[in-house]
Chains A and B, each alone.
Chain A
């Protein structure tokens, strides 16, 4: 059921893939000129979630280590960014260090990764299932810490998040910058920033999963005993997976904080960890595209349901959009596991493979059985 990065779903030729990538790039660049804020925010939210999902897909999808601690590392990234970049004036709410936002972001990711390193003596020695429960500890510890240090975290009410700015250019330009007749505000810049981060992370992780790191991790997932004998240092690789996952979660947390503009403990509960798990299962475990597809599905669902609540039956009156989303992805989760365990991407790949094989068979009808079966 687990998918390994294989031939692309969309195209089997290099030229085809490049063309699609170019098309994607054009869309990313052009869309902010046409979309309203709702869609820009959704796009940015998807980028952030996808990065987090990619991280979890490395740990749980590829290496087989079930983890529910994702919310903890998201929180760490979000809170650290807010604190490092926050204004240092304690009379106006929670204090901060006043660092440049880009620096704060890098530090936040580093902190999340270090936290992953600190937890790895526990995580690398545990089997996949035990880690599932042990990772709960981090989530509740995180909730406790968020509430206990209000000077940093803002306590139960949370705190606001400073805007991102790169090299002195703030994303929140007042008055807004006008580009080709379109006013560019915070969310236009965040859209590009988010996609840039997503493309960079996705490409890098995809390279890792296709090469020897991915192979080692998948062997740990499928036959852990054989992994050692083949020369894979199992503990070390579990640690790498955990570090990569927590670092990406940290980045995702920063992006989340930028999206909402503030952070509060309620944003980092166990349910959030579960949502990321849902993303990678529905999308497809073990691949970057699976993470992106899953993140798109889970992130869009409640927002779209809310936006179109008056058009869809049953929403608003009896069931809130949030709960409706939960029902939908709960059912989707069980359905995927029962029917197509390799997720949407895995299923699409299989379908593409079948269609391709059919095309080949049609082209060579007289050759008897094609391939060994």
Chain B
């Protein structure tokens, strides 16, 4: 039971971090109708900056710079997308983000080199105890910070001027433009927020499941994409639910992998994708996705 609870807690921690990534992913989709395959490398970029700078300027400052860099990177990609032939459709734009991802990933992997690099978390690898349940401090802070960030973001999305404009633009771009919403500003704002969320996730994902930064981080982040789809690509709340579900499922599967050895060692990392296919078989638009009724 103790084991289950600590795995559950760890899963929720991973889930909230996945939710950060998934929500950013969905926000970009709502704003630009594109799947941002460069999201993983934005995440890696943020962690990379922290890893490189934390020794020189200290962890908090490094994180601040990382946020700025990730945000800027995201905005540049988003701006590029706006300049690109918009009428070419979402698939060419999505493929363009794949191109950016290849470039970023290759560059960062080149710079990083092999091995694992320290990101300099001030809380190190210490473990906290909640009663009999143990959890690493990193995971604890990840949950707390992620919940805070998510709550702030959801509130902003619902009540702030930017949030209302974003929702209006996603719903009906023409009407929104007629009402004075600057679509390009809203879109850039969306990308910026997504970049910041990705950076935060990167900082936490380098603490757990595996401490330290290695190029495989981008692949780990990829697991958040199923989360976004499971929730339905148009729903922010869906991304939150999807992220939590995937985080918990993956952690439990990894934790209990001795019990499910017949599925193969390391099945935990495949769980997000199995879950994705299962949900899509049941609901092709995702759990909370809207069925598009296109006007003929």
Which A residues have a C-beta under 8 Å from some C-beta of B?
1, 60, 64, 66, 121-122, 125-126, 128-130, 132-134, 136-137, 140-141, 144-145, 147-149, 225-226, 229, 270, 274, 277-278, 281, 319, 323, 326-327, 329-331, 333-334, 337-338, 341
Count: A-B pairs, CB below 8 Å: 129
Whether B284 pairs with A125 at a CB distance below 8 angstroms is: yes
> How far apart are the CA atoms of A270 and B220 in the complex, in Å?
13
Enumerate the 10 nearest inter-chain pairs by beta-carbon distance, A residue then B residue, closest first.
Answer: A148-B264, A137-B273, A333-B99, A330-B103, A330-B102, A334-B99, A326-B106, A125-B284, A144-B270, A337-B96
B266 adjacent to chain A (CB < 8 Å): yes
> How far apart are the CA atoms of A61 and B267 in the complex, in Å?
33
Q: Which residues of B contact A326 (CB under 8 A)?
A: 102-103, 106
Minimum Cβ distance to chain A for residue B125 (Å): 28
> How far apart are the CA atoms of A147 and B80 in the complex, in Å?
39
Whether A140 pairs with B100 at a CB distance below 8 angstroms is: no
> How far apart are the CA atoms of A147 and B273 in the complex, in Å?
17
Minimum Cβ distance to chain B for residue A234 (Å): 13
B186 adjacent to chain A (CB < 8 Å): no
CB-based nearest A residue for B99: A333
Interchain CB contact (< 8 A) of A140 among B91, B93, B273: B273
Whether B94 pairs with A129 at a CB distance below 8 angstroms is: yes
> How far apart are the CA atoms of A60 and B270 in the complex, in Å?
25
Minimum Cβ distance to chain A for residue B26 (Å): 12
Q: Which residues of A contact B84 (CB under 8 A)?
A: 337-338
Task: For chain B, give the interface size range.
Answer: 35 or more
Q: Which residues of B contact A130 (CB under 8 A)?
A: 229, 233, 280, 284-286
Given A133-B35, A338-B83, 8 extra CB contacts under 8 A: A1-B88, A121-B281, A134-B280, A144-B269, A145-B264, A327-B107, A330-B103, A338-B85
Q: Which residues of B contact A319 (CB under 8 A)?
A: 110
Minimum Cβ distance to chain B for residue A302 (Å): 12
B92 adjacent to chain A (CB < 8 Å): yes
Whether B91 pairs with A128 at a CB distance below 8 angstroms is: yes
Minimum Cβ distance to chain A for residue B79 (Å): 13
Minimum Cβ distance to chain B for residue A301 (Å): 13
Q: Which residues of B contact A226 (CB under 8 A)?
A: 296
Whether A277 pairs with B98 at a CB distance below 8 angstroms is: yes
Minimum Cβ distance to chain A for residue B89 (Å): 8
> How far apart are the CA atoms of A326 and B96 in the complex, in Å?
14
CB-based nearest A residue for B276: A137
Whether B264 pairs with A144 at a CB distance below 8 angstroms is: yes
